[in-house]
Amino acid sequence: MIVRPRRLRSTPALRRLVTETRVHPADLVLPMFVREGSGDPVPISSMPGVVQHTTESMKPALARAAAAGIGGIMLFGVPEHKDATGSGADDPAGILNVATRVAAAEVGTDLVVQTDLCLDEFTDHGHCGVLDSRGAVDNDATNERYRAMALAQAEAGSQLLGLSGMMDGQVAEVRDALDAAGHTDLPILAYAAKYASAFYGPFREAVQSSLVGDRRTYQLDPANRREGLREAEVDVDEGADIVMVKPAMSYLDVLADVAATSPVPVWAYQVSGEYAMIEAAAAQGWIDRRRAIEESIVSIRRAGADAVLTYWAVEVAEWIR
């Protein structure tokens, strides 16, 4: 035999030298939940090791994230009170905007402070938008709420807005609102290909979702591959600076499609269910926890993600460093 591919696998040093895909701490973004009205951090039972922070407990967590050298944090607010229009979302005194000011003050020069721009945490019905008289999500009325949210988050010090609601035209609407208010340099991350997935289950606990029903009228059908690419292309045309595929591991084909054609950075979100499954299997001794975590993130990067949102961001960064 002349061709022996195993030659390049013969030693750890040689395997390291020819590695095609690497993960750097700066490629990782940590999602963080901040809860209103709690004196202590609240563990999330379905996501071992993850908590709903207070505005005080988040400070050492932010410092640890900055010291680990990760790329940024994505903040989610967990309010005490909800209503039909999610009024707490654009209230300067609302938990997400308060947490954003804290994060910007603590680590704003070391991490990219990012904010989730969606109404689901703030509405009493749990949907990502406002409802019409028939109980359906009103796309255009929701975009008006997103405009207000964008301005509130910009004023609070967010350095990147994560538009996760999957409304048609949301990127264009938010870009217009930001530019009109002078926030022309504030970038937009569009959750472009966000699927109606079963893997969001633990996230519902994390944000204390009050959702009844499902989000299939605005999130993508898991069976559709081309539609994911189309959504990303539309968001880029509307002015998105980064596009996202979510979830990650069940949609690596969509991620690869988007990464192959996108003129802007492409990120992926390793969602709560992906995290919970690995943690649960590792707790039973069925898999090697560290190897499974590392392999899962490498696979997402290999498929084309320039950055990965993962609840293991800080831990993995510390392993790397």
Q: Which residues are catalytic?
A: 194, 246
Of the candidates 145, 170, 304, the residue with the CA atom closest to the CA atom of residue 237:
170
CB 201 within 8 A of CB 209: no
Residue type, 180: A
Task: Provide the 8-state DSSP code for 192.
Answer: E
The H-assigned helical ranges of 108-200 are 139-156, 170-180
Of the candidates 252, 233, 251, 253, the residue with the CA atom closest to the CA atom of residue 243:
233
CB 88 within 8 A of CB 98: no
Of the candidates 177, 84, 65, 189, the residue with the CA atom closest to the CA atom of residue 127:
84
**DSSP letter string over 143-155?**
HHHHHHHHHHHHH
Distance CA 158, CA 178 (A): 12
Chain position carrying tokens 């905007």: 97
For residue 91, the number of C-alpha atoms closer than 13 Å in the C-beta half-sphere is 15
Helix axes 139-156, 95-107, angle to 10 degrees: 40
SS3 state at 85: coil
For 13, list phi and psi in degrees, rounded to 5.
Answer: -65, -40
